[in-house]
């Protein structure tokens, strides 16, 4: 059964009926709304209307106002709905991303375990279950557990961590966390250097990056590196392995004053880098440092490279080093 369409005037915002004395009209397009609905949208809701302010003509009555029926929802209302949906979608995306990519606060189980460690209710026997919880643990749990164990146990962590690194059953996620803890422990974790060097020789590039970060924090340029570590770092520096070669370069630069083999490898690298725009500034600074090297041949190599690449360099040490060698000598003592 068909019913006749109502011809009563309705509010353009809420679509409820408008009484004869409660309508307000837009001065430009005559759109009618309730007096209470007009301020909700801050002006005329009609798409394309130039009157977006709150200026209205109240009390005109239903008969005096022309309204186009079947209009789409108002622009301002649509914008508000879209913004709300986008905000909800972004929140859900971030939440889902946090759960899938590891971001977010610690899990309930990790929180309870960290609380027990902080309260000294458990000792180092909590380390195996903690390592097991790391798989799928949000990043917040990684950070909190790392801080808690370092603060509570300190260097006492090194033996069980070495044992975990030496075990083939230890998962990659746990190994990564262990390297983070070794970075926090710094020189006090020197006993773990064999395991760190073993990871540097491993096939996993990502794990090599974690290991080189741990080596950097353990050595900090205060004591000479083990021969094996020095040779491996020189290989990585010269291997062109993305960020690893730059990380190895930075570690070796901190050991410049301690090891002759490191000085020779660094001068060779700096001689190559002066022709690379990205590394040029660092290489020039390194070569100026080499002007004071204890080895005469390294000083000469640095001076010749600086004079060739920076002929107007006014550093007086360059001419002083070049004057040490007879001008008739053209052989490069490399």
What are the sequence ranges of the domains in the chain? 8-74, 246-334
Length reported for the chain = 334
What is the strand order of the sheet 23-25 is part of? Answer: 32-34, 23-25, 57-58
User: Radius of gyration of the chain from Cα atoms?
Assistant: 36
Cross-strand pairs, 23: 34
Instruction: Please give the pLDDT value at position 8.
Output: 64
Could you tell me if residue 138 is left (phi over 0), alpha (psi between -120 and 50 degrees) or otherwise beta?
Answer: beta
* C-alpha to C-alpha distance for 265 and 272, rounded to whole angstroms: 11
Ranges of the chain with pLDDT below 50: 1, 3-6, 53-73, 90, 92-101, 327-334
Helical H runs in the chain?
38-41, 75-101, 108-118, 127-133, 139-153, 158-166, 172-185, 193-200, 205-219, 227-238, 243-254, 260-273, 280-290, 296-309, 316-323
Our CA angle for 93, 97, 98, nearest 5°, is 120
Q: Residue 221 burial (CB < 10 Å; 0-12/13-18/19+)?
A: middle
- pLDDT value at residue 162: 93
pLDDT at 240: 65
Residue 326 tokens, joined: 């007879």
| pLDDT value for 138 | 86
Tokens of 40: 């909700």
């Amino acid at each position: 059964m068909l019913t006749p369409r109502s011809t009563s005037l309705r509010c353009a915002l809420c679509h409820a009926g408008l009484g004869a004395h409660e309508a307000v009209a837009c001065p430009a397009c005559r759109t009618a709304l309730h007096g209470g609905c007009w301020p909700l949208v801050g002006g005329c809701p009609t798409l394309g209307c130039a009157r977006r302010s709150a200026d209205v003509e109240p009390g005109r009555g239903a008969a005096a106002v022309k309204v186009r029926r079947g209009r789409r929802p108002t622009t301002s209302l649509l914008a508000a709905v879209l913004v709300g949906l986008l905000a909800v979608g972004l929140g859900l995306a971030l939440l889902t991303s946090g759960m899938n990519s590891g971001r977010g606060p610690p899990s309930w189980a990790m929180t309870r375990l960290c609380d027990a460690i902080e309260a000294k209710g458990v000792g180092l026997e909590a380390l195996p279950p903690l390592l097991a919880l790391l798989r799928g643990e949000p990043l917040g749990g990684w950070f909190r557990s790392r801080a808690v164990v370092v603060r509570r146990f300190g260097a006492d962590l090194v033996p069980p961590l070495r044992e975990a690194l030496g075990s083939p059953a230890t998962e990659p996620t746990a190994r990564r966390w262990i390297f983070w803890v070794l970075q926090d422990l710094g020189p006090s974790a020197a006993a773990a250097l064999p395991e760190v060097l073993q990871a540097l020789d491993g096939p996993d590039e990502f794990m090599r990056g974690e290991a080189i970060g741990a080596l950097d924090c353990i050595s900090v340029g205060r004591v000479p590196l083990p021969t094996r570590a020095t040779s491996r770092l020189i290989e990585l520096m010269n291997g062109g392995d993305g960020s690893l070669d730059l990380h190895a370069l930075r570690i070796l630069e901190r050991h410049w004053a301690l090891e002759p083999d490191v000085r020779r490898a660094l001068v060779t690298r700096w001689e190559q880098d002066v022709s690379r725009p990205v590394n040029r500034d660092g290489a020039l600074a390194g070569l100026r440092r080499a002007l004071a090297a204890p080895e005469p041949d390294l000083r000469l190599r640095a001076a010749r490279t600086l004079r060739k690449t920076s002929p107007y360099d006014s550093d007086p040490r360059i001419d002083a080093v070049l004057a040490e060698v007879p001008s008739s000598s053209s052989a490069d003592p490399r």
